[in-house]
Homo-oligomer: A and B are copies of this chain.
Amino acid sequence: MTYKGDSPTELQTLLENKKYRILKETLSEMNEVDIASFIEELDTEQVLLVFRLLPKDLALDVFACLPIEHMEHIINSIGDMELRDMIEDLYTDDVMDMLEELPATMVKRVIQTATPATRSIINQYLNYPENSAGSIMTAEYVALKKNMTVEQSLNYIRQHGVNKETIYTCYVTNIHRKLEGVITLKNLVMSPSNAIIADIMDEHVMKATTTEDPEEIAYRFNKYNLLSLPVVDHENRIVGIITVDDVMSVLEQETTEDFEKMAAMLPSEKPYLKTSVFTLAKNRILWLLVLMVSSMITGGILASYEEAFAVLPLLVSFIPMLTGTGGNAGSQSSTLVIRGMTLNEIRPKDIFKVVFKEFRVGLLCGIALAAVNYIRLIIFYPGQELICLTVVLSLLLTIIMAKCVGCMLPIGAKKLHLDPAIMAAPLISTIVDAFSLIIYFQIACALLHI
């Protein structure tokens, strides 16, 4: 929780002038996250130098915040004994995050260097699938026993709590590690010291299973205002805990992925500026290709009405307005529905409610836009009432159609167990384009007798 406003440039100056003693003192007063940001910008040889200046406990916290290249460099520069101590003291979730990114040979070294107990936990954790509760939990929680008194519990926490990820929620387990209850440190502090845990614990424990989706867990944290949640295996044995800070990272990452998917990209793993041009291009080409090919269908539809606009080229000039408005109207609906489903506010069974709502919204929006357009058209194209009518009518129908497609597509995707963000959002404008052209030219042919 320490925070000090020393800017990286001041620290840089201290480092360049070799004022290591002052640098060391300044760093020891700083927050680990800020120290890591400072180290991140340094050259490889400076990284180790600064890292060595940190007091042991702080060094460990800083290490957990560093980018993988720096972790690699530090691990490669220290001996097995030191590495073992570090692995021992790091939280399991930080070790697992690191192992996920390290090259295979280094993963091997880390696992071989660890103590047998830690090695067995690491191996257990490595088995949990990516993007599961098991992959984000940590093993450092406080486990109490039913028959302990409050005083015994507090003494236990004093002895074993230092290295726990949180001591604010303690879990009560039996000898088989099965979860029997939960008690907060607040309850412990507020209760008389001779009270028995079994009498004051809460037996209705909210918990997650190892295979659960982290995003679902994140929304549960938010709904119930949780600080931590135990994770159990299929025999109700506690295997780890998830804390609120992990959950905030999950939410941030999932949100970024949703944004990327809705803009027709494969999700990226790193921040934008750290992603290579090649990876960025690779993440985008697939969907651009898919959408390009589908827009060729729209082109084909357009080509089939070639005669119509050969007779009346003016018709073409309204196409961008129609398809553009349709696309916008559709993506408004799909965005609201996709977000609503992410937040569990809209469920697939609400489909009729949603479509009826969107139909009415489309009607209102359509009438408003058509009216504005009609005024513009009779001013700019006097005497061409039929063309005006064609455009206005097409606009109204396009907007209603776009709203309905925009809400049905994501709900449909969800029903088919597809990801609505990727399956619906990027496709909306292509689909709406095609339909709106058909609407437009059908009306044009009928009204204008082409």
Interface residues, chain A, CB within 8 Å of chain B? 1-4, 29, 31, 33, 154, 157-158, 161-162, 167-169, 182, 184-186, 189-190, 202, 204-206, 221-227, 244-245, 247-249, 251-252, 255-256, 258-260, 262-265, 271-273, 277-278, 280-281, 284-285, 287-289, 291-292, 295-296, 298-300, 302-303, 306, 309-310, 313-314, 316-321, 323-325, 327-329, 331-332, 334-340, 343, 345-346, 350, 353-354, 357, 360-361, 364-365, 368-369, 372-373, 376, 399, 426, 429-430, 433, 437
Contact = CB atoms under 8 A, between A and B. Distances in A.
Contacts of A169: 1
A167 B190 CA distance: 11
Given A158-B189, A284-B329, A314 B303 contact: yes
B256 A343 contact: yes
A364 B272 contact: no
A361 B284 contact: yes
Contacts of A3: 204-206, 224
B184 A1 contact: yes
Contacts of A302: 316-317, 319-320
Contacts of A295: 320-321, 324-325
B299 A306 contact: no
A141 to B, nearest CB: 14
A288 B328 contact: yes
Contacts of A353: 273
B1 A328 contact: no
A296 to B, nearest CB: 6
26 contacts: A1-B169, A1-B206, A3-B224, A33-B224, A33-B225, A161-B190, A168-B168, A168-B185, A185-B189, A244-B244, A244-B248, A251-B252, A263-B332, A263-B336, A264-B328, A277-B360, A280-B361, A281-B360, A284-B332, A285-B368, A295-B325, A296-B376, A298-B324, A300-B317, A303-B316, A306-B314
Contacts of A262: 259, 335
Contacts of A360: 277, 281
A259 B313 CA distance: 38
A312 to B, nearest CB: 10
B345 A272 contact: yes
A271 B369 contact: no
Contact of A161 (B189, B221, B244, B329): B189
Contact of A223 (B33, B328, B346, B433): B33
A94 to B, nearest CB: 12
Contact of A244 (B227, B264, B343): B227
Given A260-B335, A272-B345, A324-B429, 13 more contacts: A1-B182, A222-B249, A251-B251, A255-B255, A260-B336, A284-B365, A285-B368, A287-B328, A288-B325, A288-B332, A300-B317, A302-B320, A316-B316
B277 A357 contact: yes
**8 closest Cβ contacts across the A-B interface?**
A263-B335, A281-B364, A303-B317, A295-B324, A225-B245, A298-B320, A3-B206, A271-B345
A235 to B, nearest CB: 19
Nearest to A191: B158
Given A265-B332, A316-B316, A343 B252 contact: yes
Nearest to A283: B332
Contacts of A258: 259
Contact of A321 (B298, B426, B429): B298
A101 to B, nearest CB: 18
Given A206-B1, A372-B292, A320 B321 contact: no
A409 B32 CA distance: 35
Contacts of A365: 281, 284-285, 288
A368 B289 contact: yes
A205 B244 contact: no
Contacts of A303: 314, 316-317
A311 B189 CA distance: 86
Most buried by B among A29, A320, A433: A320
